[in-house]
Amino acid sequence: MEDFRDLFALVKEELSNLVSATIFNLWIDIIEPVSFDGTTAVLAATSYRRPIIEKKYSTVIHEAFEKALGFDAEILFVDKENEPTAPAIADARGEHLRHAAETGRGGLHTTLTLPVLPHENTFETFIIGNSNKFACAAAQAVAANPGLRYNPLFIHSNPGLGKTHLLSAIQHEVERLFPDLLIVSTTGEKFTNEMVATIQHKTTAEFRQKYRSADVLLVDDVQFIAGREATQEEFFHTFNSLADYGKQIVLCSDRPPKEMDLLEDRLKSRFEKGLIADIQAPELETRMAIIKRKAAASHFDIPDDIVEYIAQQLKQNIRQLEGAVNLLEAFIKLKGMHLNMLTAQNAIADIMSEERPLPVTIDRIIEECARSWSLTPADVRSKRRTAEISKARQTAMYIIGQVTHIATTAIGKEFGRDHSTVVYAHEQIRNEMERDPGFKKRVNDITKAATT
């Protein structure tokens, strides 16, 4: 190991001549050598900085190694917090060598942990219809001119209608058109979890550097940060920092900013500053096109009458349409069944059973909350304010909001309460879940029982 540290000292010396002093101090000097077996050098950096180093400086690091060694070497980047075992490094190196053999490209860097959004989720594979063409056009404009058009772009819809597909398509297109731009892709939940870890490990500077160095920031499920004070504070300043320098921001959510009741007003105003685009449930023709595209990708030919039948039965969720194609294909290829209408009906029976009318869902949630506290549904809906009834009622309000995504005013009407009571209930339950793992499990168990 000492020999490798000596070697890496030479590499860093070479790098000091290839990059500016600022870049060297901020991004190069913090890299730590892990191992070198004569052909593969394993380098570590914190999970906050590694993706940026790999994206922007891996080529110059590879060049410095080649100059210091006198021959070509592979570079593997790993997270400092989770250094891989020797077998894991060997597996990663083997995969890299196979890729090099297939592509004819050797001596390049690779990574063990960098997440990559699926490239099949491109604009070319996005089925456009009346329900989503505005959102798609906005996403394409942003990808073609990051930071110059519609900043921020805020896309919202119910789950399963293509928000994440568009987010992936933007990333893929920006990578293709502007390979030098740094893209940081995350979710509201991941941003929150990283924020918690940052506070625990006192790595605030690195956390901020990761996100505020982005040329393009993509955030899925941004509604997750609502109600989390420290996370909202950090996201507010990150947003401002990027916006001030004209960096592109794209946000996706299951609801528009104005319906995020626990989101701070200053964030709502910034989310609404750019362009807001919604995606509605696809119309019949679009649903049929989605089914055909999914089937064609698997070289699976489905007759038009069966395609239309599936599209007529499954109306709200693209994932259900794609899942129906997978199930039907499995019935034919794995079970040896004939491709006919009866087989199609059997294949989507389980999916059909998942579609429960909204009033039934609300009633089920209230029933399960009542059962958990040994009460009756009438108790939960009543005006009574005993400790148990209040807790069951607040929990029901919270779960209904999480499961149905209806507005807090509509939830309040179910209980004869106003909007502010529901907002308060959401905050109380969320806070108690964060403090008490046992209560969090109870809420999750109620949710599962009410929706299965």
- pLDDT value of position 361: 77
- CA neighbor of 257 nearest in space, from 270, 268, 246, 273: 268
348, two tokens: 């989507």
Q: What is the pLDDT of residue 2?
A: 56
Q: What is the pLDDT along the chain (452 residues), one digit of tens a residue?
A: 457 888 888 888 888 888 877 778 778 888 988 888 777 888 888 776 788 888 788 888 988 888 877 777 788 888 776 545 554 455 545 544 444 444 343 433 333 333 334 446 899 889 899 999 999 999 999 999 999 889 999 999 988 899 999 999 999 999 999 988 999 999 998 999 898 888 888 888 889 999 999 999 999 999 989 888 899 999 999 999 999 999 999 999 989 998 888 899 999 999 999 999 999 989 999 999 999 988 988 889 999 999 998 998 888 788 889 888 988 988 888 788 888 888 888 878 767 655 544 555 788 899 999 999 989 999 999 989 899 999 999 999 999 988 877 778 889 888 999 888 999 999 999 999 999 989 998 998 898 888 76
Contacts of 157 (CB under 8 A, 6+ apart): 135, 163, 254, 278, 279, 280
Domains and CATH numbers, the chain: 2-111 (3.30.300.180), 133-278 (3.40.50.300), 284-354 (1.10.8.60), 358-451 (1.10.1750.10)
d(CA 423, CA 360): 23
At a CB cut-off of 8 Å and minimum separation 6, what does 140 contact? 123, 173
Q: What is the CA radius of gyration of the chain?
A: 26
* Residue 103 CB-density burial (10 A; 0-12 exposed, 13-18 middle, 19+ buried): exposed
pLDDT for res 153? 97
Q: How far apart are CA 36 and CA 395, in angstroms?
A: 55
- If you search the block for the tokens 């990578």, which residue do you land on? 175
Write down how long the chain is: 452
pLDDT in the model for residue 105 = 38
* Closest by CA position to 153, among listed 281, 280, 272: 272
What SS3 string covers 1-60?
A: CHHHHHHHHHHHHHHHCCCCHHHHHHHHCCCEEEEECCCEEEEEECCCCHHHHHHHHHHH
pLDDT of residue 106: 40
Please give the distance of CA 281 from its chain centroid, rounded to a whole number. 21
By CB atoms closer than 10 A (0-12, 13-18, 19+), residue 324 is buried
Query: Which pLDDT score, from 0 to 100, does residue 172 have?
Result: 92
Which backbone phi and psi does 451 adopt, to 5 degrees?
Answer: -115, 10
Distances (CA, A) of 343 to 107, 323, 338: 51, 15, 7
> Which of 152, 135, 145, 141 shows the shortest CA–CA distance to 249?
152
Which pLDDT does position 348 carry in this prediction?
Answer: 80
**Residue 402: how many other CB atoms lie within 10 Å:** 16
The pLDDT assigned to 320 comes to 84
Q: Which residue has the tokens 């690779």?
A: 110
Phi, psi of 211 (to 5 degrees): -85, -35
pTM > 0.75: no
pLDDT at 269: 94
Residues contacting 404, CB < 8 A, separation 6+: 358, 361, 362
Give the residue carrying structure tokens 């996201």.
235
3-state secondary structure of 219: strand
pLDDT of the residue at 48: 66
- The enclosing H or E element of 249 equals strand 248-253
| First CA to last CA distance, the chain | 55
pLDDT given at position 109: 39
Contact 216, 248 (CB under 8 A): yes
**Assigned token pair, 367:** 């029933």
Q: Cα torsion for 229, 232, 234, 238, to the nearest 10°?
A: -170
Specify the residue for token string 């500016």: 20
Model pLDDT, residue 397? 95
